[in-house]
Amino acid sequence: MSDARHVLVLPDRDAAEEVAEALAERFGVPEEPQLVRDALAGEDDAEDAQWLVVVEDPDGRYDAPQLDALAAEYEGWREGE
């Protein structure tokens, strides 16, 4: 059974924005993925925030290993659910 969404965790906003663009180019994601700032627990410093790129995938169209590879290109990873 496939996940209804994929969450890619990136080290900063620039990487998250680049991944969002790459998703449209490489995977044909029809709508802009959601970017979410995720402050690390107990950290108030904006420098210690990660960025999440949330890709809705209700039909299971996107290949998880390819998404893993894309996130890794930007020093990130895909959260397993």
Of residues 10, 75, 40, 73, the one with CA closest to residue 55:
10
pLDDT tens digits along 9-18: 999 999 999 9
pTM of the model: 0.84
The pLDDT value recorded for residue 4 is 87
Tell me how far apart the alpha carbons of residues 52 and 37 are, in angstroms, rounded to a whole number: 6
Higher pLDDT, 42 or 33: 33
Alpha helices in the chain, H assignment, sequence order? 13-22, 64-73
Q: What is the pLDDT of residues 35-74, one digit of tens each?
A: 999 876 555 555 568 999 999 998 889 999 999 999 999 9
9: containing domain: 5-79
Q: Is the dihedral of CA 44, 48, 51, 52 positive or negative?
A: negative
Give pLDDT, residue 40: 65
Q: Give the domain CATH number at 22.
A: 3.30.70.3450
